[in-house]
Chains A and B, each alone.
Chain A
Amino acid sequence: MFDPNLLFEQFFNGLQLGLLLFLLAAGLTLVFGIMDMMNLAHGSLYMLGAYVAAQITLWTGSFVLGVAVSLPVILLLGVCLEAGLLRPLYARGHLDQVLATFGMILFFNEFVRLVWGPEGIEVPLPDFLKGNIVIFDIPLPNYRLVVIGVGLIVALMMYLLVTRTRTGMLIRAGASNRDMVQALGIDINRVFTLVFGIGAALAALAGALAGPILAVTIGMGENILIQVLVVIVIGGIGSIRGAFVGAMLIGIIDILGRSFLDTFFKLFLPVNAAETAGPAVASMLIYILMAAVLFFKPQGLFPAKTG
């Protein structure tokens, strides 16, 4: 009934989901943190990134090229969006920001439906990433290993960028006290455009990488956006470290919950009840975790704001 190999395999899948979430959360948490800006359209960038990569892959047959094109395209789009639409909203309340970015989601979803149709796109795996590597008798798909590898590399680079460079210092300073940074003569808007661009590119990367595993569909951005919001809330707004820890927690707990909760419930519940309660509680698990974290730490695990 309980299989340690399956546990390891699912833990591995959780790790991969966690890193995907981190790619999205890393950029978004900085946007929230530095500009106190509520941006819901981050999921749209993820979706567009996935579509562009998928389309290029289908045209050229090269998945790598798809990813390579998708990144700069979405980065450019992100920078244009930031400069053209979002900048006038910084001075506004959160409600205006929510509404305007909600309008952007509606627009982009419909745009994708118009261009690519309501059906999703299937992205074939590149040949050199097919197959498995067997570790301790457990087959691990190559592609998922690549996703994990890329995610870890990005995490490391983000960590170095934020903690070891001058730009990173400004980002951290902006997240903890924006007014003070401005008072010291730094053009925080330029820092923000940069952060937004990086965030957009990371979202596109996440979308492009998710393509072959998850379906490339219209609603894909919103579904993952909510999970990303949970990650950010748990980690603490504006904190890269928090985003990483939160993403890992959410990814692993979500996958393990979906795989093992009904088995766990069967230990003390009748089979019927366990099979009903298992999936129901599993789908709520990350939100329950969020509520629990907030109950003890309303600012998240690693709050960046100093007041």
Chain B
Amino acid sequence: MGNRAQILIVGTIFLGLALVPLFAELTQTPFYLDLARRMMILAIGALSLNLIMGYGGLISFGHAAYIGIGAYTVGICAEHELVSGFIQWPLAILVSGVFAIIFGLISLRTRGVYFIMITLALAQMMYFLGVSLDRYGGDDGLPLIERSNFGALVDISNNVTLYFIVLGALVLSLFFCKRLINSRFGMVLQGTRSNETRMKTIGFPTLRYQLTAFVIAGMMAGFAGALLANHTDFINPDMMHWTRSGDLIIMVLLGGMGSLAGPVVGALAFILLEELLSGVTEYWQLIFGPFLILVVLFARGGLLGFFADKEQRDG
């Protein structure tokens, strides 16, 4: 797909996102503000997954775990009356990074089906850990007493302010991914995806690169988790459930794997589709499941890729 077309699509999306608070205010529908904010937070999560999955070829089926770890870090801090966002957010990123190092070291010893299953199992372990943490709400989850406090700098207890913070975070994340992918590091990562043996033969310690990418992705997801905790004012183990990880994979694939802005488009499409279908019928997954299968079978390259092909076909 042409670079210009991609910039056009992404530019339109961001313009639309920037206008959502105005729209919500004028039409008195705070629901849309909430929906768009959740979509953007998930987009950051999907962007981070795309780093390892799209560019690194590492299919992690446990990425929601890091979102959960980030959210729990914020939630647990708040529970112990540590509400400063200057501490909470960096800590959320740090803790998810530490978990990503450990999980990465374990799972990167394997490839293929093994890798998928192990990331899935490790994430599910975190889910069950969350369920068994009675002190922090266990199965029911834990309400956030107070959103992260940034003192005089900015007050995110205001929903619109938080919205723009999230929007800014998404733009920054996108920019960060762009820089990372086009850097030497990103090139090595992509080279490893297409042929690991070759990269090793040239002399790159591929495992080290993959682990680094895995940890960066984990930290980004942890950041998304910190945002998510503030967004929902609530943490619960369900954030880490394996179907959440599946949702993230779907977003990346829907948008177009290995394209920079794909996950943003994918997250948007996913959330809209979910809203649309659940409006049509209570049993919306009855439609969504087969839809997924059709996407896999026929729309390779996701929505961005699908439209790009169409453009080429149409001349």
Contact = CB atoms under 8 A, between A and B. Distances in A.
A237 B121 contact: no
Contacts of B113: 32, 36, 38, 94, 237
A230 B106 contact: no
Contacts of A110: 283-286, 289
Interface stretch (B35-43, B77-85, B166-174, B292-300): B292-300
Interface string A98-110: 1110111111111
Interface stretch (B4-12, B124-132, B142-150, B224-232): B124-132
A124 interface: no
B253 interface: yes
A100 B114 contact: no
Size class of the contact patch on chain A: 35 or more
B172 to A, nearest CB: 27
Contacts of B250: 99, 102
Interface residues of B, number: 44
Given A98-B59, A103-B291, A298-B109, A114 B283 contact: yes
A105 to B, nearest CB: 7
Interface string B106-129: 100110111011101110110011
Contacts of B72: none
A279 interface: yes
Contact of B106 (A88, A226, A291): A291
Contacts of A98: 59, 61, 116, 246, 249
Contacts of A100: 292-293, 296-297
A164 interface: no
B118 A233 contact: yes
B97 to A, nearest CB: 18
A81 to B, nearest CB: 11
A26 interface: no
Interface of B is mostly: helix
B313 interface: no
Nearest to A279: B132
Nearest to B250: A99
B242 interface: yes
Given A88-B297, A94-B116, A295 B253 contact: no
B129 A229 contact: no
A102 B292 contact: yes
Contact of B121 (A95, A222, A279, A287): A287
A205 B124 CA distance: 25
A114 B284 CA distance: 11
A82 to B, nearest CB: 14
A85 B53 CA distance: 24
A170 to B, nearest CB: 21
B184 interface: no
Interface in B236-293: 242-243, 246, 249-250, 253, 257, 283-286, 288-293
Closest 6 CB pairs of A and B: A107-B289, A103-B292, A106-B289, A287-B125, A283-B128, A110-B285
21 contacts: A36-B112, A92-B296, A95-B59, A98-B61, A98-B246, A99-B292, A100-B293, A100-B296, A102-B250, A103-B289, A103-B290, A107-B285, A110-B286, A114-B283, A233-B114, A233-B121, A237-B114, A280-B132, A282-B132, A283-B131, A287-B122
